[in-house]
């Protein structure tokens, strides 16, 4: 395992010490490793989300020309369906 020296703000130092003092972590290194694992997981999730959005965008483009939405026709159809339920 490699060794790396980092500088933290007093606030972060206090946070790390609190986590170690809670007993959940045996050392400050464990706290930092866990934080980095969570950051990596978050970045992977964001990357997957971006890929999903890019694919959705591409699917939309490939679906062909869009038709303008007639809001009044949509409302009329909705009202017609509501009336049919009664």
- The percent of residues in the chain predicted with pLDDT above 70, rounded, is 100
Q: How far apart are the first and last CA of the chain?
A: 71
- pLDDT (average), residues 40-54: 98
Domain spans of the chain?
1-63
Q: Which one has a higher pLDDT value, 85 or 14? A: 14
DSSP structure string for 1-58: ---------HHHHHHHHHHHHTTS-SSHHHHHHHHHHHHHHHHHHHHHHHHHHHHHHH
Distance between CA atoms of residues 20 and 15, nearest Å: 9
The pLDDT value given to residue 64: 83
Distance between CA atoms of residues 20 and 66, nearest Å: 57
- pLDDT (average), residues 20-34: 97
Does residue 86 carry a pLDDT above 80? no
pTM: 0.66
Task: Specify whether the CB–CB gap between 46 and 38 falls below 8 A.
Answer: no
């Amino acid at each position: 395992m490699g060794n790396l020296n980092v500088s933290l703000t007093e606030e972060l130092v206090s946070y790390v010490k609190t986590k170690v003092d809670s007993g959940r972590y045996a050392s400050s290194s464990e706290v930092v490793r866990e934080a980095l694992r969570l950051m990596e997981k978050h970045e992977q999730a964001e990357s997957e989300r971006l890929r999903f959005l890019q694919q959705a965008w591409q699917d939309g483009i490939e679906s062909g020309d869009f038709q303008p939405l007639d809001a009044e026709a949509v409302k009329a159809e909705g009202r017609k369906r509501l009336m049919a339920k009664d």
